[in-house]
Amino acid sequence: MSATPSLLEALKQRGIRVTPQRAIILNAVEQMHGHMTAEQIYDQVQRVNSYINLATVYRTLELLRQLDLVTEADMGAGAMHYALHTHATHHHAVCRTCGRSIEFPHELLTPLIDALHNRYQFRADADHIVIFGWCDDCASHLPPVQT
């Protein structure tokens, strides 16, 4: 198995050596659908080569994050999640009860980001924001809010 030419080329263009282990990890990353933890990527890698350890997966993911080829997000599940940085900037709303994650476009946060800059001279690092709350199904089981 081989990773997409774009990921391989991105590393080579930056002068980074692509070892056989990295190629396997890159292939697993390329095949991700949505966000995955390092452990989930490691499970995919183990199917190809059981000698690649979890530390190597973490180091490779960190390298890819530094090169802006993957994004890293805390989705509230106790482990960082990674996704290819190949599509438009987006964010997530995550239900605190059931864990459901809803992806929404960056444009919804643009007014807030602009207000932070204009009113408070603060430049938000808003490549990937996760907002926690409750989906309608779970919210219907919450006690009423006291005002």
SS (H, E, C) the chain: CCCCHHHHHHHHHCCCCCCHHHHHHHHHHHCCCCCEEHHHHHHHHHHHCCCCCHHHHHHHHHHHHHCCCEEEEECCCCCEEEEECCCCCEEEEEECCCCCEEEEEHHHCHHHHHHHHHHHCCCCCCCCCEEEECCHHHHCCCCCCCC
Looking at residue 87, its pLDDT comes to 64
- Confidence (pLDDT) at 73: 80
pLDDT for the residue 5:
53
pLDDT of residue 1: 46
Tell me what pLDDT residue 43 has. 96
Tokens of 65: 């994050």
Residues in the chain: 147
Mean pLDDT by 10 residues, the chain (147 residues): 65 90 89 86 95 96 88 79 77 88 89 95 86 92 80
Sheet holding 70-74, edge to edge: 36-37, 80-84, 70-74
Domains within the chain, CATH numbers bracketed:
5-84 (1.10.10.10), 90-139 (3.30.1490.190)
Q: What pLDDT score does 135 carry?
A: 93
